Chains A and B, each alone.
Chain A
Amino acid sequence: KAGVTQTPRYLIKTRGQQVTLSCSPISGHRSVSWYQQTPGQGLQFLFEYFSETQRNKGNFPGRFSGRQFSNSRSEMNVSTLELGDSALYLCASSYTSEALGEQFFGPGTRLTVL
């Protein structure tokens, strides 16, 4: 099976712009989670989707949003970008429908905000 794919891999934006990141989970996986990784804050949970429904959300402002499509692909959107949004954004998929088990991570999208 193909692994989790994320596009684009690298992105440079300026403050105030918005950005959309995409994640394609492993075939058959219905749970998709998003994480932000920065040197200062480490890995932080953004949100998790299962069957097009957001089941859990981390402590991020409303500028961060996401959605999941019927084919389990997911997108996350960040509006009104700030310098502090520069980070590696990781997507992970999982097969389980209940408590999260093993997560399969994509390579990440590195976002730089200038």
Chain B
Amino acid sequence: SQQGEEDPQALSIQEGENATMNCSYKTSINNLQWYRQNSGRGLVHLILIRSNEREKHSGRLRVTLDTSKKSSSLLITASRAADTASYFCASIQGAQKLVFGQGTRLTINP
């Protein structure tokens, strides 16, 4: 079963707009990670936020973590066509088990 639940399942926006995706999880975490997957390919790591961090930035990406609500959000600013992909949050269960959410399919329209 998937621990993380992404919201929305699909998102379609215009190029240049910001995209926000949310992730909820059920159990305590050590860290939470976000990954991107282009159609049918391997996943690419975007950002890792530790349980004692509340916000983290990487280029056009901003991730927040609220451990009291067991939720995280990924914001992509100034979206580009190349950002079209599926985005997954993943949390660590125990020490060595990464559990993924169902993902958000993001489409950037030119």
A interface residues, Cβ below 8 angstroms from B: 4, 31, 33, 35, 41-45, 48, 50, 55-56, 58, 88, 90, 92, 98-108, 110
Instruction: List the A side residues contacting B35 at CB < 8 Å.
Output: 103, 105
Most buried by A among B30, B41, B88, B96: B96
B85 within 8 A of A: no
CB contact under 8 A between A4 and B99, given known A99-B31, A100-B92, A102-B33: no
- B95 & A98 in contact (Cβ 8 Å cutoff): yes
With A43-B103, A92-B43, A105-B35 given, name 9 new contacts (CB 8 A).
A33-B98, A35-B100, A45-B97, A55-B96, A99-B92, A100-B96, A101-B31, A103-B35, A106-B42
Instruction: List the A side residues contacting B92 at CB < 8 Å.
Output: 99-100
CB contact under 8 A between A110 and B40, given known A48-B97, A50-B96: yes
CB contact under 8 A between A90 and B95, given known A42-B103, A99-B30: no
Choose among A42, A50, A101, A106 the residue that contacts B102 (Cβ–Cβ < 8 A).
A42
- B42 & A43 in contact (Cβ 8 Å cutoff): no
